[in-house]
């Protein structure tokens, strides 16, 4: 089993290849070489080099929002898709307007698209936020479908729920980046819980 998160050697981040941990994935040299060929494919090469260039251009200067705009511009995209959570509608509009200011076409789809009541998909009444009231299910598959239908070239996820985001990624035909990872408690900053995992949040995470 690979355990990079627990490795203190980090030979991968240097040119020194001695002392690889016994379970280091880099010991699979043939696999690493085979996988490297993927970056040379037309479908990945420019995308990868552009994303790495953006990383360097705005390193510690550009917020992710600016990086996303610059990435889309560098890739020459014209039509951007936004899949957003109803709870972040205001933020989605700000992002959408900003991209339009930068001369992109923007298609946006809210999570509630379809307006299907939660119980129809099998969500128990007690698992609704307000039991016995109408609650529209989040519909990430429809979000992906409608953006696919509109030929978005690159999709931005804003605040989709855990798991709903996974289905959106699964069904989106265009590549997806996540601009906002939803965290209702920490102002959409999941790292807050990580930073405090050994302190104030210790018991909250058990
Ligand atoms: S790739 Fe190898 S050296 Fe790098 S973190 Fe993982 S185990 Fe450690």
Number of C-beta neighbours around residue 150 at 10 A: 14
Query: Which atom of ligand 1 lies closest to the CA of 13?
Result: 4
Does 12 sit in the ligand 1 pocket, CB within 6 Å? yes
Q: d(Cα 98, Cα 65) in Å, to the nearest integer?
A: 10
Torsional sign, CA 23, 194, 53, 176: positive
Q: What percent of the chain has a predicted confidence (pLDDT) above 90?
A: 98
Report how far ligand 1's centroid is from the alpha carbon of 194 (Å): 22
pLDDT value for 54: 96
User: From the CA of 84, how far away is ligand 1's center (Å)?
Assistant: 35
- What's the pTM? 0.96
Which CATH architecture is the domain 78-206 placed in?
3-Layer(aba) Sandwich (3.40)
Domain boundaries of the chain, sorted by first residue = 18-61, 78-206
Is 10 touching ligand 1 by the criterion CB < 6 Å? yes
**Tens-digit pLDDT profile for residues 126-142:** 999 999 999 999 999 99
DSSP 34-95: HHHGGGGSHHHHHHHHHHHHHHHHTTTTS-HHHHHHHHHHHHT--EEEEEE-GGGHHHHHHH
CA distances from 148 to 46, 105, 115, 161, 168 (A): 22, 14, 19, 20, 11
- Whether residue 18 has pLDDT greater than 90: no
Tokens for 199, please give them: 């302190």
Beta bridge partners of 154: 80
Answer whether 4 contacts ligand 1 (Cβ < 6 A): yes
Distance CA(150)–CA(72), nearest Å, equals 17
Name which of 65, 58, 73, 74 is nearest 95 in CA terms.
65
Neighbour tally for 68: CB within 10 Å? 21
Q: Using CA atoms, how far apart are residues 202 and 92, in angstroms rounded to an integer? A: 33
**Atom of ligand 1 at shortest distance to CA of 8?**
8
Vertex 140 angle, CA 94 and 50, to 5°: 60
Ligand 1: residue whose CA is nearest its atom 7: 24
User: Does the Cβ of 161 fall within 6 Å of ligand 1?
Assistant: no
Q: What is the pLDDT of residue 15?
A: 86
**Per residue in 158-188, pLDDT tens?**
999 999 999 999 999 999 999 999 999 999 9
């Amino acid at each position: 089993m690979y355990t990079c998160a627990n490795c203190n050697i980090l030979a991968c981040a240097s040119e020194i290849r001695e002392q690889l941990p016994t379970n280091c994935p880099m010991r699979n040299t043939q696999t690493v070489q085979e996988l490297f060929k993927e970056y040379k494919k037309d479908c990945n090469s420019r995308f990868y080099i552009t994303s790495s260039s953006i990383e360097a251009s705005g390193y510690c200067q550009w917020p992710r929002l600016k990086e996303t705009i610059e990435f889309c511009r560098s890739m020459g995209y014209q039509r951007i898709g936004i899949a957003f959570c109803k709870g972040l509608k205001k933020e989605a509009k700000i992002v959408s307007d900003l991209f339009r200011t930068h001369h992109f076409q923007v298609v946006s789809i809210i999570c509630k698209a379809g307006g299907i009541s939660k119980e129809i998909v099998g969500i128990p009444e007690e698992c609704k936020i307000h039991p016995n009231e109408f609650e529209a299910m989040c519909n990430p598959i429809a979000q992906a479908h409608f953006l696919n239908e509109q030929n978005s070239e690159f999709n931005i996820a804003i605040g989709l729920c855990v798991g709903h985001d996974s289905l959106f990624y699964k069904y989106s035909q265009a590549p997806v980046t996540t601009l906002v990872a939803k965290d209702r408690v920490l102002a959409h900053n999941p790292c807050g819980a990580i930073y405090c995992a050994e302190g104030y949040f210790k018991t909250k995470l058990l």
